[in-house]
Amino acid sequence: MRQKKIIANNKKARHDYFVEEVYDAGIVLTGTEIKSIRQGRVNLKESFARVEQGEVWVYGMHISPYEQGNRYNVDPLRARKLLLNKQEIRKLIGYTTLKGLTLVPLNIYINENGKAKMELAVARGKKLYDKRDDMAKRDSERRIEYELKQAKR
């Protein structure tokens, strides 16, 4: 079984999008960036990914500068390249251009080899009424669970 330590989670992604498919991608980082990620100083809230010239890039992912990094620190919001197979990239091109889907990072984790990886989702945006339906379902499930607990007492 694969061990992975989740560093950052994009909770807003599952709220705003229907997730169709999930890919694991490596991230090209500098030395100080990986140290910051291991400390958990990364934010995926406003991030998204694009396929450009046969390569996948993630934008808006904020990695805080490493405190002991001094001159080796880079721009916290710079675009970072994601590492995927050519077949996977071709699939992503098809999804984003033909079907009108978008690429959204779900989370960043460290695998058993100490490498930082990202779960990248092919997603379709939710409309406002979809979000309301999800919230109503969640509330009703909570209410049912509460009532069942009260009935057991």
Sequence-ordered list of residues with C-beta below 8 angstroms from that of 140, at least 6 positions apart, any chain: none
pTM: 0.79
Say yes or no to pLDDT of 1 above 60.
Answer: no
Domain ranges of the chain: 4-126
Say yes or no to pLDDT of 33 above 90.
Answer: no
| Averaged pLDDT for residues 109-138 | 88
Q: Tens digit of pLDDT for each residue in 135-153?
A: 898 899 999 999 988 888 7
pLDDT bin (cut points 50, 70, 90) of residue 2 is low
Say yes or no to pLDDT of 3 above 80.
Answer: no
Which fold is adopted by the domain 4-126? Small Protein B; Chain: A; (2.40.280)
In the block, which residue shows the tokens 């498919």?
21
Q: Tens digit of pLDDT for each residue in 87-102?
A: 999 999 888 887 878 8
| Averaged pLDDT for residues 111-128 | 88
Backbone dihedral angles phi then psi of residue 14, each to the nearest 5 degrees:
-75, -20
90-95 long-range contacts, CB within 8 A, separation 24+: 92/23, 92/51, 92/56, 92/122, 93/51, 95/20, 95/21, 95/122
